[in-house]
Structure formats: C-alpha cells, structure tokens
Amino acid sequence: MTRAISLHDVSKSYTRGVRVVDRLSLDIPPGEFLVLLGPSGCGKSTVLRMIAGLEEIDEGELLLDGAYANELPPSGRDMAMVFQNFALYPNMTSRDNIGFPLRIESPGADPRPQVDATARMLGIQDLLDRLPAQLSGGERQRVAMGRAIARHPSAFLMDEPLSNLDAKLRNHLRAEIFRLTRDLGVTTVYVTHDQSEAMSLGDRVAVLRGGVLQQVGTPREVYALPVNVFVAAFIGTPRINLLRGLVRAPMGGAMTVSLGRQYLRLPEPLSLDHQLLRVQQGREVIVGLRSEAVRIGKPSSARPGEVPLHGLVEHVEFQGHEVLVHFNTGSQSAVVPDLEAPRPAARPARRRRREAGTVLDRLRERAGALRGGPAGAPRGGPVGVLDRPGQGEAPAAAEPRLPGDLIVRTTPDIGLRHGMQVPLLVDLAHLFVFDQHGERICPAPARLPDLEE
C-alpha cells in the first residue's frame, strides 16, 4: 500500500522568527518519486522531517491520503526514513538492524523470513552476520535501506542517503535506489543537493531556495524552462551562461539583444516570445544560454532560428566524451549573487532609515560634493543594475568565474587552440531572457499577467 502526501502552506520557524520553510505547498500522488532539490540550508531536510513527524509544523496542513496528520505521531504515519549518516545500531548485526523495526511492530512474529527476502533484494545475504564496524560505507547504506524496506511502509523518506559515499559507489547505489523504488511502487520523497541525483531519479523535482518553493516539475521541464535565474543557474552542468543584455526595439528596424560588442538579431517575423520582449526596450536584462544552445559553425551553415556570433578561444576543457570551450565574445557576464544565493539577502527597513544619515551627515555629504568628491570613505565604484547589492550591505561574494564569458559544448575531435577566432551560431529557440529581478520573461511564462489585475 502506498499513499498520497499533501502539504498546504506549511511553514516552520526556529530562532528569531526566521522561516526555514515558508508557505510551502506540494501534492505528491501515490507512487511518485519526488526529489527535493536545493543548496544547503534551503529547508529541504526540514520539510522531510515535518512529513515524518520529527518536526512540528508551525503553520499549514499536512494531509496523508486526504486526512489531517499534523498531530499524528511518527509511529502512526507508516513511513520509513533513510538517514544520511546510516544510523545503524553499532552493537547489532546487519540481520538484527534490519529486523529491529519488525520486532517492535510484531513482538511475537519471526522477522527472519522478511529479513532474508530483503537481503536477497539488496544483495547483502553474506553481510547479515556482520557488525556495522565490519562494513564499508556502501554496505552500511544498503543495510540502512534494508531496514526501511523490510517494513513495507507506505512511503520512503530519504535524506541525502548517498552524500557520504565516493562517486563510483554513489552512482551504483543511485541505480539501485531507482530500481527498488520502481519495483516496490512506494511513494518516495528524496532530499539532495546533487542535481545529477535529482535529474536521474525523480519523476518530479521540487527546487527550494531559502525555504520557498521556486519550481516543481519533471526534470525535463525544470531544465528546459526554469522560472528564474536561481533555478537556471542551479540546474545544469556546465552552469548556464548568464550575460548582460540590452533590448533594442526600434520602430523601423529589427529587434536585437545587445551583448556588449556584439548583438543577437531576432529573426522576423518575430515569434510570440520575442514580441513580448518589446516591453523591455532600453532595459538591461539577463541573457541565459545553455552550453548546447551555441555551436561552432559559419554563418553560411546557419539553420532556421540560428544567428551568428564570434568568439576568441580562452580555454579548452577536455572531458573525454566532450570538450567544453571557453570563449571571449566581448560580452559581460551577469554577476547576480543576490539572485543566485541560497537565501535572498535580507534588507531590513530600519537599517535603510538609519543609513539615510542625520542632518549633519547630509550637510557633510553636500559639502564634499561641492569640493568635487564625496564626504567620508568611498563606497566603491558604480554598481550595475544586475549586481547591485542591498543598500548598506556589502556585495555578496560571487563564485569564481572561469576564463571567457561563454562556454560551448562540442565534440572531442574539435581542433581548437588558445587565441583562435571562431564563428559561432546561437539557436534562439533555446534563448532565455530574465528581467532585473531574475524572473524569466522569455520564453514567456505559462500565465501572462492580466492588465486589469
């Protein structure tokens, strides 16, 4: 038996009223494998613990098969949890660890048949008489999974079960988890910060940031149509190219998106998505291009919907099955730490009022301006629209940037060297445009704003 899990406007706060989870709503149908994805500290483990009953829900409702379950104790929810740190009893053998919950639920029953069947399913029959200290990390995690599977629960809750394992073992156990959950058909909620796990395991992926649900959809939907800059930058390897752009839409000419020294000319007739960009005329935007949206090719070989660009090779990154080429196109990378940070920067109103300064401070500043310079310590050079920090705050540290401003994925047989000038073709069907707040405006959102609202 499996079950449906629903969260309606669920919130959780700890100290000082900071919401770790903020009005989260999710509907998980029976048998679905849902992945909660996000950076460390975004609230995904807290959501899992609230579903399990290990954390109280401050606001909102948890429904299990449509029944109110906020006050239901963990033992009454018929769920099994797999922890990140294995959580095995060190003085029990693998057999006893797997059979322990069975003995608690049915004290008079013999758990050995179920333990043996679970061990065969996981391929750990020869490990049943060993203590946890005699097992490797992967073997311990298999035993921990066996303890959850043996109970035949209505839902699996997995809290980063593979994060403590090496890469090769992690990939192997990922395939095991996928096979087991499909065979058992049990509702599974899986927490991870690893996008590879999320994209390969989940029926749907829910992306969280600062306790707020950003987007939920199939892995293909989340990758192909990110709702904002955070989702676009968090999902995808290599990271999406984010460039500063300026929309130019003259009445009598072609619409273009300027990228500094070059521009993308939008083909006519304009598509609906590109027509909607007219309202951004003269505004700075964030242009997003996945590495596969650009290919090396001459303008004469352009396909419908492709426009030319050119770049200078800065670095060639050999990956074996592919090559990542870093180009300098004369564009300016969109450094948007506030839009990509795990939690949006807080901007308290009191600080802003205090920083406005006293009358004496304003007189000093005006006097400094008359002398040809600002009064007091300089606050740095001008900050662009897309990377302006909160007023009175130091700019968030941006992640280290690799050479060039555009990364292109290509085949390993390509013969490129540092300093070569290379013609490029951009597929406008895979062009993302985000506004100054990081929200996607192209392709257009599914629901357009109503002008009468």
The model's pLDDT over 388-431, given as tens digits with 9 standing for 90+, comes to 333 333 334 444 555 789 999 999 888 888 989 999 999 999 99
Residue with tokens 């740190």: 85
Output the pLDDT for position 430.
92
Output the pLDDT for position 56.
94
Q: Note whether 428 and 266 are within 8 A (CB).
A: yes
Output the pLDDT for position 355.
44
Classify strands 33-37 and 187-192 as parallel, antiparallel or unpaired. Answer: parallel
Residue 91 corresponds to which tokens in the numbers above? 């003085």
Average pLDDT, stretch 383-392? 38
User: What one-character-per-residue DSSP string does 424-453 give?
Assistant: EEEEGGGEEEE-TTSBEEESPPSSPPPTT-
State the Cα–Cα distance between residues 86 and 320, nearest whole angstrom.
34
> Is residue 168 packed enough to be buried (19+ CB in 10 Å), middle (13-18) or exposed (0-12)?
exposed
State the Cα–Cα distance between residues 223 and 233, nearest whole angstrom.
10
> Is residue 171 packed enough to be buried (19+ CB in 10 Å), middle (13-18) or exposed (0-12)?
middle
Q: Out of 145-159, 161-175, 300-314, which region has the weakest mean confidence (pLDDT)?
A: 161-175
**What is residue 340's three-state secondary structure?**
helix
Classify strands 79-82 and 155-159 as parallel, antiparallel or unpaired. Answer: parallel
Q: What angle do the packed helices 112-122 and 94-105 form, to 10 degrees?
A: 130
Classify strands 33-37 and 204-209 as parallel, antiparallel or unpaired. Answer: parallel
Q: Out of 24-28, 125-129, 372-376, 385-389, which region has the weakest mean confidence (pLDDT)?
A: 372-376
Q: Note whether 121 and 180 are within 8 A (CB).
A: yes
Output the pLDDT for position 17.
74
Closest CA to 187 of 28, 410, 348: 28
User: What one-character-per-residue DSSP string does 59-124 give?
Assistant: EEEEEETTEE-TT--GGGS-EEEE-TT----TTS-HHHHHHHHHHHH-TTS--HHHHHHHHHHHT-
Residue 384: pLDDT over 60:
no
Output the pLDDT for position 173.
84
> What is the average pLDDT score of the chain?
84
Residue 97: pLDDT over 70:
yes
Contacts (Cβ under 8 Å, ≥6 apart) of 322: 409, 410, 411, 412
Output the pLDDT for position 277.
87
The model's pLDDT over 5-20, given as tens digits with 9 standing for 90+, comes to 999 999 999 877 788 9
Q: Out of 51-55, 76-80, 403-407, which region has the weakest mean confidence (pLDDT)?
A: 403-407
Mind listing the domains of the chain with CATH numbers? Answer: 5-225 (3.40.50.300), 234-337+402-442 (2.40.50.140)
The model's pLDDT over 177-186, given as tens digits with 9 standing for 90+, comes to 888 888 889 9
Output the pLDDT for position 357.
54
The model's pLDDT over 278-336, given as tens digits with 9 standing for 90+, comes to 888 888 999 999 999 999 999 999 999 999 999 999 999 998 889 999 999 999 888 77
Helical ranges in 217-336 per DSSP H: 219-224, 229-234, 272-275
Output the pLDDT for position 254.
86
State the Cα–Cα distance between residues 45 and 302, nearest whole angstrom.
47
State the Cα–Cα distance between residues 302 and 425, nearest whole angstrom.
7
